[in-house]
Amino acid sequence: MRKIKLQMQVSVDGFVCGPDGEMDWTVWNWDEELKDYVREIMASADSFIAGRVLYEGMSVYWPSVKTNPESSEDDKTAAENFDSMTKHVFSKTLTHADWNNTIIESGDLVETVNRLKSQEGGDLMLYGGARLVSSFIENNLIDEYHIFLNPAAIGKGKPIFGNLSEKFGLELVKSKACPCGIVVLNYVPAK
């Protein structure tokens, strides 16, 4: 069965973005250790999941990276990877998507995710946004958590664990402090 792997940037005070979606506090000058970690967790994936807002930003940004002569080779490789992946966009309002290999998912979240997990193929990376990831957490749909703890506190914003109706445990698989200042926390749901 395919796995859902969450990769999410988080501030030390637990937010994935500011109140209006601000992400100016995130570290994007990743070192080779963090890039290698991302390559490792993405190696088994052939698809990704996003909400409408994040998808719309990615669908503009990543195709432009491929053709921008100022893009680094790492960014061009990432852009090629994202372009080739199947993209599942969870949205009740999006009716059309221009980025290739995009499927708009508007049905019941749990039924749709269970259908995706039971299909043939590689794992599915989950990127967000905050509300979508919160729904995945509430419904216990995530198999691996890869939380990138950034060296910043932002005071207020959008959490992914803020809507839990009851607490649940996670088991730490590994942690890694990267030279760029990000600490990677890899968890699985507690048994």
Q: In this predicted model, what pLDDT tens digit does every residue of 132-185 receive, in sequence order?
A: 999 999 999 999 999 999 999 999 999 998 878 888 899 999 999 999 999 999
Predicted confidence (pLDDT) per residue in 9-59, tens digit: 999 999 999 999 999 999 989 999 999 999 999 999 999 999 999 999 999
User: Residue 133, class by beta-carbon neighbours within 10 Å (0-12 exposed, 13-18 middle, 19+ buried)?
Assistant: buried
Give the domain extent around 161. 4-189
Task: Report the CATH number that the domain containing residue 154 is assigned in CATH.
Answer: 3.40.430.10
Q: Which residues pair with 3 in a beta bridge?
A: none
Helix H or strand E segment including 175: strand 170-177
Number of domains in the chain: 1
The letter for the amino acid at 134 is S
Task: Work out the burial of residue 83: count CB atoms within 10 Å of its CB; fewer than 13 is exposed, 13-18 middle, 19 or more buried.
Answer: middle
Residue 99's pLDDT band (boundaries 50, 70, 90)?
Answer: very high
Query: What gap in Å lies between CA 94 and CA 56, rounded to an integer?
Result: 10
Sorted by sequence, the CB contacts under 8 Å of residue 28 that are 6+ apart come out as none
Ranges of H-type helices in the chain: 32-42, 52-67, 73-84, 109-118, 130-138
